[in-house]
Amino acid sequence: MKKVLVTGSAGFIGSALTLKLLERGDIVIGVDNHNEYYDKTLKKNRLDRHINHKNYTHIKTNIADCAALKNIFKNYDFNYVVNLAAQAGVRYSIENPSVYVDSNLVGFGNILEGCRENKIEHLIYASSSSVYGANTKIPYSTKDSVNHPLSFYAATKKANESMAHSYSHLYNIPSTGLRFFTVYGPWGRPDMALFKFTKAILSNKEIEIFNYGKHLRDFTYIDDIVEGCIKVLDSPPKKDIAWNGEDPNPSSSLAPWKIYNIGNSDPVELLKCIDLLESKLGIEAKKILLPLQDGDVPNTYADVTDLSQDFAYKPSTTIEDGISKFIDWYLEYYK
C-alpha cells in the first residue's frame, strides 16, 4: 500500500489515475482547484466516482497557494507525489500566459519545496510532447534536444523538467517527468480536438480543422496512460552511473532524475480520426480546412523505447477501439 498525493485529481488523467490507485488498495489525497478553464460540472462528475471512497481524501485548493500546500504536506504524511495539476492548453497560453506562470511555474515550485521538506520517496510530474516544439525529426526521442518550444505552455513544461532536475541534484529527490502524447478517452477534456469535433458534429455545426487535417497525432488512450503512470510510480529512478557530462543523455542524470515519453507510438492523421468519428456517429462532419495555427506542431510521434525497456510498457488500445469507447461514453454522458 502506498500513500499518494495526486494533484489535479478532478482532472482527466488525475481522476482516472486516482481510481486505479484506489482500486489496488492505495491511499490517495487528492488536490484540485476546480478552476473554470472548462465545464466545472464535468470535473465534479469525474470526482464523484471516487470522492466517497474510504481511502480517498479531497482538498480543494490551488497548488500556487504556498501556505495551503505546506499544510497538506505536513498534515497528511504521504510519501509519493503525482503532480498532474497544471494550466493546460497550447492556444490558451498564447492569450493568457500569466495563468501558466502561477500554476505551472509557481505551483510546481511549491510542489518541489514540499517534496524537499518532507523527504518524498518519488515525485512524478506531467510534462508534454509539446516540449519538442520546432523539432522535425520523428519519432520524438527523449535523447533529442528540446530547446525550441513553440508555445508558452510548452516552455513551462520544459521549465518543470529543469526545475525537477535541480531539486533531484541538490536534495536527492527521485523525480520522473512523463511527456504525455495527446491523451483521449471517456471523461476527457472538452478543449481537446476529438471532444470538440464530436460536440460540433452532433450539433450539426462546422468544425475547424487546422493544417488542412494533415496533423499527425500520437493519440494515446487514457487507460494506457494510467498503466504507464502506475508502472513508473512504483519504481523511483536511480542515479545513472553511466551518465557522461561530455556526451550528456538529456533523459537521465547523475541525479535520481528521469524523463520518459508516454504515448501510443502509432501516430494517426487527424482526417482519419474525423472519419472514425463520422462512421461511429453516422453523421458527416461539416469541415472547414485551415492552415497551421500559431503554437501548434505539425506532427507528434512518441519513441517509447526507454519506457518499454524499463517497465515493459506496451499500449494496447487502437485508435478505432479508443474512439468507439469515447463516443459510447459521450453519448451516454450527454444523453
Per-residue pLDDT band for 91 (boundaries 50, 70, 90) equals: confident
**What integer pLDDT is reported at residue 254 of this predicted model?**
97
Per-residue pLDDT band for 94 (boundaries 50, 70, 90) equals: confident
Domains of the chain, by residue range, sit at: 3-184+219-263+301-315
Of 10-19, 232-241, 288-297, where does mean pLDDT reach its minimum?
A: 288-297
Q: Summarize pLDDT for 128-169 with one digit per residue, the tens.
A: 999 999 999 999 999 999 999 999 999 999 999 999 999 999
- pLDDT reading at 296 higher than 90: no
- pLDDT reading at 89 higher than 90: no
Active site residues: 153
- pLDDT reading at 177 higher than 80: yes
CB atoms under 10 Å from CB of 41, counted, come to 8
Predicted model pTM? 0.95
Cα separation, 12 vs 183, whole angstroms: 9
Q: What percent of the chain has pLDDT over 70?
A: 100
Pairing of strands 216-217, 27-32: unpaired
C-alpha cell at 330: 459521450
* Mean pLDDT along residues 37-61: 95
- pLDDT reading at 213 higher than 90: no
**What integer pLDDT is reported at residue 189 of this predicted model?**
93
7: region left, alpha or beta (phi > 0 left; psi from -120 to 50 alpha): beta
The CA-based dihedral angle spanning residues 133, 139, 142, 148, taken in that order and rounded to the nearest 10 degrees = -20
The CA-based dihedral angle spanning residues 173, 83, 261, 88, taken in that order and rounded to the nearest 10 degrees = -140
Task: Provide the mean pLDDT of the chain.
Answer: 95
Of 66-75, 185-194, 291-300, where does mean pLDDT reach its minimum?
A: 291-300
**What integer pLDDT is reported at residue 85 of this predicted model?**
95
**What integer pLDDT is reported at residue 70 of this predicted model?**
97
The CATH code that applies to domain 3-184+219-263+301-315 is 3.40.50.720
